[in-house]
Amino acid sequence: MNEQFQPSDLSDTAPPYELIEIAECFQPIVGQPSYDWAYLAATHLIGLPANVAISAILEETGRLAGADRAWMFEYDDDLLRFRNTQEWAREGVSSHVEDLQQTPVTMIGWLHQWLVAGKAVMINDVANLPRPARVLQAEMLRQNDKSVLCVPVFHDGTLRACIGFDATRAKRRWPVPEIHQLARCAKLIGIARYGRASTDGQRDGSTVSALTGTEPLVHLHMPGRTRGVPLAAIVGLRSAKDYTQIWLRDEAAVLDLRPLSFWIGLLPKSNFLRIHRTTVINIAHVTELDRHAGPTRQAWAVRLRRFDTPWAVSRPYRQELRSRLGI
């Protein structure tokens, strides 16, 4: 198969990054590339073990797309850590598959918030990413990335992994039909990797938390220091403009130097619930729901373990709160 390197078509006016709704990739494709990537992926996944097939898919699609690297990383069960699992690199391009192992998701939190929402992320210009992506940007620059494409891998409605391409020789923008093709491959990979048992009796996608046997930590980026805390220790979070106040189980609030939107994308919805435009709580710490709070007795508020001050619940989030509390 001939390699089809496509030179950069990134103009000076292109935005630093773009979000692509991958649900659209399952509609008929207009201007489809010469090769059907999903067909190529399926031929590998049917006849080979998942790990071997995924490596073949990354190499094949990476070459067809003119990428410099093609890669996959996987999440643990709690979506709190990830690890690089597979990578193909063009000749002369450095490999980084061993670099990110059991890495806190907070490092890629800006990216993760879009992936968990089911969006592909096309980073046209790594050097001009916004401030909340600074930690991720530093890692990408260390790997000499100029442009990056990231496509989420889901199985049974849960984000399990991400596959993508790196461009290291020049900035570029991948055509949307190619992104849709890669999303179709991601769907097949999700089925093959996480939908069947492996020969050792575990799921093919055995994860970091299962392997380590330790409770994962989330890392708070506080002024002057970084601190890891168990997920269960976080009681609630409130927006503080570009930062977030985080209340911990055994102490007063601390300030994290990232916006609330970063944490909304990171925290698992099974444990955390938004109750206000500016507020997220750990549902396990709710001790009381007052549905007749305030002077008019029409406001709602919750009380959280160890904190006497009530937390307001705005109207759009009330039904979900009742459902989660089973009332």
Task: Split the chain (327 residues) into runs of 10 and give each run's mean pLDDT.
Answer: 52 81 60 72 87 90 93 88 90 86 84 92 93 89 94 92 94 92 94 67 43 65 84 91 90 87 84 92 90 77 86 90 82
Intervals of CATH 3.30.450.40 along the chain: 17-194
Structure confidence at residue 200 (pLDDT): 36
How far is C-alpha 167 from the chain's CA centre?
20
Is 3.30.70.920 the CATH number for 17-194?
Answer: no
Structure confidence at residue 196 (pLDDT): 61
CA distances from 145 to 90, 95, 172 (A): 13, 12, 11
Burial label, 322 (beta-carbon count in 10 A; 0-12, 13-18, 19+):
middle
Which of 3.40.50.300, 1.20.210.10, 1.10.3720.10, 2.40.50.1020 would CATH assign to domain 221-325? 2.40.50.1020
The H helix count followed by the E strand count for the chain is: 8, 17
Structure confidence at residue 246 (pLDDT): 93
Q: Give me the residues paired with residue 300 across strands.
A: 313
Structure confidence at residue 18 (pLDDT): 87
How far apart are alpha carbons 7 and 25 in whole angstroms?
24
Q: Scanning the structure block, which residue is given the tokens 């390197």?
A: 5
- Long-range (24+ apart) CB contacts under 8 A made by 126-135 are 128/16, 129/16, 129/17, 130/16, 131/242, 132/258, 132/259, 132/261, 132/262, 135/106, 135/107, 135/108, 135/109, 135/221
Cβ contacts of 269 within 8 Å, gap of 6 or more: none
Return the structure tokens found at 166.
């790196």
* Cβ atoms of residues 153 and 163 within 8 Å: yes
* Cβ atoms of residues 122 and 172 within 8 Å: no
How far apart are alpha carbons 220 and 229 in whole angstroms?
8
Intervals of CATH 2.40.50.1020 along the chain: 221-325
Structure confidence at residue 225 (pLDDT): 84
